Amino acid sequence: MSLILASSSPFRKELLTKLGLEFSTHAPDINESQQPGETPEQLVHRLSQEKAREVAKTKSGLIIASDQVATLAGGMNSKDKILTKPITHENAFKQLQQSSGNTVTFLTGLTLLNTNTGNIQTIVETFKVVFKTLTNTQINHYLKKEQPYNCAGSFKSEALGIGLFERLEGDDPNALIGLPLIQLIKMLENEGVDILTS
């Protein structure tokens, strides 16, 4: 069966390449807005499934889709805040100021859809990043060097962003970059694909 990654992300493509499987990529075009009353967990669960189903309209095989949000604890009696892609230096600076000394939780929805059988598997993987207490100078220098303005949370963990962290907490470091490979391997095995013998 052909394997299709429902994403245009170069980072997800690079991660999937690690498994040594042949695959193609196809970017789904869906509305990624959060629905009223929807939790971050429900959001990434729904969007990963929607991305897979959108690609299934024109492609067949095993479709891998994922969606990720970063959240910052809102404190007593307030909701967790979703950290979006900052786009500008000013927004990124504010995000990193808020994250400084705090924990950011990354939630990644992962879906594997078999278009031949209609079988769909979806999980939400959690990964936590504990930030160092950062000075404004450190934040500015980091942003100027790496310009992570298209990254949720305003950093790239696979590059210099690792210097912002006190520690990482989670089962799969790949989840932080947007594709939880350990869970994906289990899903593929459920569909008869063993990456060690393929």
User: 13-65: per-residue pLDDT in tens?
Assistant: 999 999 999 999 999 999 999 999 999 999 999 999 999 999 999 999 999 99
Query: Of the listed 67, 80, 171, 172, which one is catalytic?
Result: 67
Which residue ranges form the domains of the chain, and what is each CATH number?
3-190 (3.90.950.10)
Instruction: Please say if the pLDDT value at position 74 is more than 70.
Output: no
Q: How confident is the model at residue 158 (pLDDT cuts 50, 70, 90)?
A: confident
Per-residue CA distances from 79 to 47, 74, 115 (Å): 20, 5, 37
Q: What is the pLDDT of residue 75?
A: 63
Active site residue 172: no
Each residue of 116-154: pLDDT tens digit?
Answer: 999 999 999 999 999 999 999 999 999 999 999 988 889
Beta-bridged to residue 130, according to DSSP, are: 103, 167
Q: What is the pLDDT of residue 6?
A: 98
Q: What is the DSSP letter of 118?
A: -
24-25 and 103-114 beta bridge pairing: unpaired
